[in-house]
Amino acid sequence: MDAGYIPAFAALAGSAIGALASFASTWITQHAQQKAAQRVQDRARREALYGEFIREASRLFGDAFRNDLDDPAKLVNLYAIVNTIRLFGDPWTLEEAERVMHRIGETYFSPNTDLAAFADIRHAGTLDPLCAFSQACRTELAIARR
């Protein structure tokens, strides 16, 4: 083999290795960026879902305090949201959402409560069925932030 080929092969090999390293570096960077963007989208979806659940559950809990369940269709939207949480949420968050839904059902079937009970601070625990759910969401979203 001619001695002139060795530097040419070395230059070609160096170029190939440099191109391969550049390709690998770009692929790893894009893959990491894609995963980060996916985590942000997932977290935003969960935040919106949990916010929707809190709004709907609050509305129904307030309604249950003053009214009987005359139309079970009132609960359909909440039931749909809980099932969506079942798809995307952590088991602990789902468990708390199911507790809230159960609590709303209990409230609908219990005797109507006077609105003055809202002013009585001693009953604050019974008037905030969403507290444990909110804490579960906060924990889940803090973990998703990492």
CA distance 64 to 124: 16
Q: Is residue 67 part of a domain?
A: yes
**What pLDDT is recorded for position 87?**
93
Residue type, 79: Y
Sign of the four-CA dihedral 84, 95, 74, 58: negative
- Structural domain including 123 reads 39-145
Q: Is residue 132 part of a domain?
A: yes
Mean pLDDT in order along the chain per 10 residues (146 residues): 77 83 87 89 92 94 86 92 94 95 90 67 63 91 75
CA distance 79 to 144: 24
pTM for the model: 0.74
What's the angle, vertex CA 15, arms to CA 13 and CA 16, rounded to 5? 65
**What pLDDT is recorded for position 144?**
66
Question: Number of folded domains in the chain?
Answer: 1
59-100 confidence digits (pLDDT tens): 998 888 888 888 889 999 999 999 999 999 999 999 999 999
